[in-house]
Structure 1
Amino acid sequence: MNLLGTSSGGRLGRLGAQLRPGAGGFLRWWGQALASWLPMRWRRALGLDRGRLLLQVDGDELQLRLQQLGELRDLGRVPMPPSAAGAVAAIDPLAPLLNARIADLPRWLLLAPAHGLRRRIHLPAAAADRLRDVVGFEIDRQTPFTADAVAFDARVLGRREADGQIEAELVAVPRRVLDPQLAALGPLATTLAGVDVADDAGPLGVNLLAPSQRRRYRDPWTPWNLALAAVAAIAVAALLWQLLANRRAAADAFEQRIAAQADAARRAGAQRQQLINLIEGQAFLDRARAQRPTTVEVIDELTRRLPDGTYLEKLSIDDEELMLIGLSREAAALIGQLQDTELWTSPALAGALQPDPGSGRDRFTLVADLGTAPPAAPAPPPAAKEADDGPTDAAR
């Protein structure tokens, strides 16, 4: 019996029925959303949607349909298998009729639309965690049957933003309708992964079969997927290791380059300090030399002060000491003649005078302390120079 029309959001309802809180539901929804962007041929080649084999009882025949990648395709009709009493349970009646790829697909019993009772109910958002258990308490109020008299399931149709509730659909089938069809399948009943109900758009996407009666099918792509996942993990680990090795090599090269530049910088710093020391030493010598009279000035001053009967054998300037060695007829008067000058101070005889029989003069040794250099005479201003040149030009 079909007491409620088909929902316009049937496809959304089928997707919503698969959404469950937690990492598993989210990853499943996320994987399906990503797979929907791929071309159908790629999805079929990658085995992203294995599909399922739908069995529908039609009198003495069994209609087979393949649902895969959102498409529903008729495979044909086969006679109903013999009952379980006269058949060997270990033999699959459909195995000789189907190829291995389709025979290994999960098998679902598809019931006609008239067999299902559908009710829309509004539940709190927290009920989505355990929707099947929650709607089990609503069967007595929403249907004329008890929970033990029906096989039921529920799917989420949508969420209301206004009050935060979810809109769910309860699908129930009386057991007096379901059990004869399961019995008609014979040994195929034990191979079912679920029971679904059809509507005008196709299967609803619910599973009326009790969890304890569902057969678990092993995905043949699981070993390949695990192998690919292992290869991907190894490749990612190798890539990360290579990136780390590259970063380490780059860091070592950078450290070597910095060390080489540091050595060059240290050498440059040492050379710069040496140059500074040389410049400072030269500046000190220049200042010290500027504070003392030059040799020419000392000789000129001596030439003007020494008498004519005096000549020098040796003139020595050692640091700040001036030493004169020579012969003179007025050696005793030399100290008085060499005083009162800014070029040296404290002239004195070093030792006694020694007569020289050959020249008739006295040999003397005289020492003095060099003083500071006399200040240079300022240059005449340009105006005074022009004034001096004026009369000369006029005289000419």
Structure 2
Amino acid sequence: MLKLDTQVNLDVAKFFRWWGGELAFLIPERLRKILIRRRPRLFLRMAGEGVACTLIDETGAREMGEFLLDDAGSQQREALFSGNVELEDAEVILLLLPEQSLRKSMKLPFAAEENLMQVLAFEMDRLTPFKADQVYYAARVAERLNDTRQIKVEMVLTPRAKLDPLMEELTAAGWRPIRVDVGPEPLGYDLLPEKYRPPRNPLPQILNGVAAGIFLLLLGAVLLFPIAMNKGMVEQLQREMKATSKVAAEVESLKNDAEKLVHENGFLQRKKQNEPAMVDMLEEMTKVTPDQTWLNGLQYRDRKVVIQGQSPTASSLIERFEASPYFKNTSFVSPVTKDVASGQERFQIATEVVNGRIPEKAAE
């Protein structure tokens, strides 16, 4: 079952050591020896009044002899280094004997791993016969017990009262260990007091700072480049929208002008359809007026015409005008009278004039 709440612990240094080893495996052995050269290690162990030296390099382990911590021993040490050039680059490591150190295993909660050294300092008098300010100590997580949510911690320590005088003697005799480990075989701890630590080479820190700066620059470029591109795209879209808006405004103006022209043309068309033509009215009136009918007067206004005249049969004029598609609502304006002199009937008729060329319903 997958436990999502399990704490993830990543030893970065261990990972890179493993990764470097895997990459080194791909390099030919001869070239690997040239590129990846391991420094020899010179282990010091206390032996009586002096120290016993063991050199471990690519050829294996060699006993280099025992040296007293006095003037004679210092001269022997100088002779040893002069006769063995490889010792100039060797890492000098002091291995404490079991009687000079203490190893202890314990179990602590997961939460203690984050501040392991502080937790051990706080619990030192409970876990050991010493207080934290009386010892040099180092620790590491040996195992993680997920079932009980605990860590198994291995701690090594040595009393300051033992290590400080020993370091003074070694330094006075010319031995300057760069690390203090626990023996008889090295375990990888470091109990070296701070004042004896060699000054750190600033180059790695400078390189780390430069690498961090380059990383931040690249990260900034990765973060800012899309923003800059998006800004450019937004500006481009704004320009395109502005140009499109201008074109749209022109199209809208042309559309309005077209609608105005259509409306004006429609107005003229409707006027042409609705307004009767005078020529058509006069021609039609000539057709519907029977022979021997005389017109004495004609008035036209607002699509309405009033005619006056004499006719043998004035009453038939109403029917004739109504039958025409150019006239409607025809009626006598005044009573029909008899002209004594001519013997014909005098009439005055009013009628509405329409456009006979276009049906009235279509005109509407």
* Residue pair 1:293, 1:370 contacting (<8 A) in 2 also: yes
- Which of 209, 226, 229 is residue 192 of structure 2 equivalent to? 209
Per the alignment, in what secondary structure is the counterpart of residue 147 of structure 2?
coil
Say whether residues 1:56 and 2:38 are aligned partners. Answer: no
- Which of 12, 16, 19 is residue 37 of structure 1 equivalent to? 19
> 1:152 and 1:30, CA in 2 relative to 1: closer, same or farther beyond 3 A?
closer
> 1:76 and 1:274, CA in 2 relative to 1: closer, same or farther beyond 3 A?
farther
Per-residue deviation at 1:133? 0.5
Q: Deviations over 1:265-322 (max 9, x none)?
A: 222223233333444444454445444556775354223135668999xx9x99x558
**Pairing of 1:128-167 with structure 2 (within 5 A):** 128=113, 129=115, 130-140=118-128, 151-167=136-152
Equivalence for 2:230: 247
**Number of corresponding residues:** 308
> 1:74 and 1:292, CA in 2 relative to 1: closer, same or farther beyond 3 A?
farther
Per the alignment, in what secondary structure is the counterpart of residue 105 of structure 2?
strand
Q: Deviations over 1:147-195 (max 9, x none)?
A: 7886543322223233333222232446787567535533588854541
AA of the residue aligned to 1:303 = T
Measured in 2, the distance between the counterparts of 1:227 and 1:215 equals 24
Equivalence for 2:207: 224
* Residue pair 2:94, 2:179 contacting (<8 A) in 1 also: yes
AA of the residue aligned to 2:43 = Q
Equivalence for 2:341: none
* Residue pair 2:293, 2:310 contacting (<8 A) in 1 also: no
RMSD between superposed Cα atoms in Å: 5.7
> 1:149 and 1:273, CA in 2 relative to 1: closer, same or farther beyond 3 A?
closer
- Which of 263, 266, 276 is residue 259 of structure 2 equivalent to? 276
Per-residue deviation at 1:83? 5.0
TM-score where L is the length of structure 2: 0.57
Equivalence for 1:393: none
Equivalence for 2:3: none
> 1:32 and 1:86, CA in 2 relative to 1: closer, same or farther beyond 3 A?
closer
Measured in 1, the distance between the counterparts of 2:133 and 2:360 equals 132
TM-score where L is the length of structure 1: 0.54
Give ranges in structure 2 of 5+ residues lacking alignment: 1-6, 332-349
* Worse overlay, 157-166 or 51-60: 51-60
> 1:252 and 1:375, CA in 2 relative to 1: closer, same or farther beyond 3 A?
closer
Q: Percent identity?
A: 22
Measured in 1, the distance between the counterparts of 2:100 and 2:73 equals 29
> 1:338 and 1:178, CA in 2 relative to 1: closer, same or farther beyond 3 A?
same
* Residue pair 1:123, 1:165 contacting (<8 A) in 2 also: yes
* Residue pair 2:122, 2:132 contacting (<8 A) in 1 also: no
Measured in 2, the distance between the counterparts of 1:184 and 1:94 equals 19
Per-residue deviation at 1:126? 4.1
Measured in 2, the distance between the counterparts of 1:97 and 1:252 equals 70
